Amino acid sequence: MGEEWLGCLDGEGEGNLQSTDHDRLFITVNAMRSGPMNPAKLLIRSNFMELLIRCSIDKYVPSGKCKTELEAVERFADEYLTPRLKDEVTR
């Protein structure tokens, strides 16, 4: 993942999603799931979606910014995914 993965990382002391979380989330999502249709050390669509959901929850729920996991996923999508998708569509 890039240095500013979707620009969603929190600054020091700012929130719960830090750059060290990239590896932890990737390992969690990809652990023990390799096979012919799910190569090790790569993300397939379902892994990527799980990564986004876990990232959303880690960013907003523990800090109290969102009360539910659903609210966290919706907020993450509104703040980070939708604006970037709109940019891609208008190119």
What's the predicted TM-score (pTM) here? 0.68
pLDDT of residue 3: 45
CA neighbor of 58 nearest in space, from 24, 86, 27, 13: 24
At residue 68, the pLDDT reads 97
Contacts of 76 (CB under 8 A, 6+ apart): 8, 52, 55, 56, 59, 60
Tell me the pLDDT tens digit for each residue of 39-87.
Answer: 777 777 888 888 889 889 988 998 899 999 999 999 999 988 888 787 7
pLDDT tens by residue, 16-37: 676 677 677 777 777 766 677 7
Our CA dihedral for 55, 31, 5, 19, rounded to 10 degrees, sits at 80
Residue 7 pLDDT: 60
pLDDT score, position 44:
77
Q: Are residues 80 and 7 in contact, defined by beta-carbon separation less than 8 angstroms? A: yes
